Every structure is written in C-alpha cells, then in structure tokens.
Amino acid sequence: MDSVLGLVGDLSRAWRPALYIGMRPTVFGYSDKKDAPIEKLRISFLSNELPRYIGHFTDFIKENGGDFMCGGDLTIADLAAYIQINYFRRGVADHVPRKSLDKFPEILAYLGRVESHPGFAAYKASKK
C-alpha cells in the first residue's frame, strides 16, 4: 500500500505544474492565461508522463494478482489511485480530453472494478 500511495503522490506532483500554471499563471511569471504555455504543458504531460505512471499502476495490479492495486480487495491505496487516475477522464481541465485514458484498457477496467465495488458504489449512491 505504501508503494501505491507513494506513486499516487508522485503522479500528483508531476501533474501539479501543468495544473497550477493554468490556475494562477501570474504566480509563474506569465501575464495571463493567454501568455502561459498551458496547452503545451498539458499535452506534453499526457503524451510523456501519464503513460509512464499508468504503466506503474498497471504493474501493481498485475504483480499483486488481484483486481486491485494491492490484491483481491479494495484498499485505501485503491481509493487514492482511483481519485488521481480518474481525474484524467473527467474532462475538467483544459486540453485534457475525457478520452485521455482510452489507450489504457487495463486501467479503464480497474477503474470500473473500483466503481462497481459494493462499498464504493454505495458511497457514490449516497452522494447523489
């Protein structure tokens, strides 16, 4: 679990510059969003960094022989990974299409397993 949580933190930190420059470009020395290289940073991240991290998450699933990152049942590590990975298919960030994870079928299947877990599904239903 510690390794998965560490990887979630690494992914979050790697994405942070592309996220924050779009939120507060003046903090990073740009006059406004039009001046900031938001699109370039985000597209580069999706092309270069995201596949590397998705590969590591996929390896955890395969190595632990279960449906989840740490084995056969959902853990806090899966919830943290789900939140961070699922962000890239929500369509909430400019230049990050909802289809960003479509080329990673193992991860899409994993996200589906998390979503269909009885505890997770019950929680989501209670929030509607």
Domain boundaries, the chain: 2-126
H or E segment and range at residue 61: helix 50-63
Q: Tell me, what DSSP letter sits at residue 21? A: H
Q: Per-residue pLDDT tens for 65-115?
A: 889 999 999 999 999 999 999 999 999 999 999 999 999 999 999 999 999
Check residue 46 and give its pLDDT: 97
pLDDT class for 128, splitting at 50, 70, 90? confident
Q: Per-residue pLDDT tens for 21-57?
A: 988 888 888 888 887 899 999 999 999 999 999 999 9
Check residue 112 and give its pLDDT: 97
Taking the alpha carbons of 29, 24, 100, 39 in that order, is the dihedral positive or negative? negative
Check residue 36 and give its pLDDT: 82
Residue 36 CB partners (closer than 8 Å, separation 6+):
21, 22, 25, 28, 30
Check residue 6 and give its pLDDT: 98
**Residue 16 confidence (pLDDT) above 90:** yes
Predicted TM-score (pTM) of the model is: 0.91
Instruction: Determine the CATH number of domain 2-126.
Output: 1.20.1050.10
Q: How far apart are the C-alpha atoms of 24 and 1, rounded to whole Å?
A: 33
Check residue 80 and give its pLDDT: 98
Check residue 44 and give its pLDDT: 96
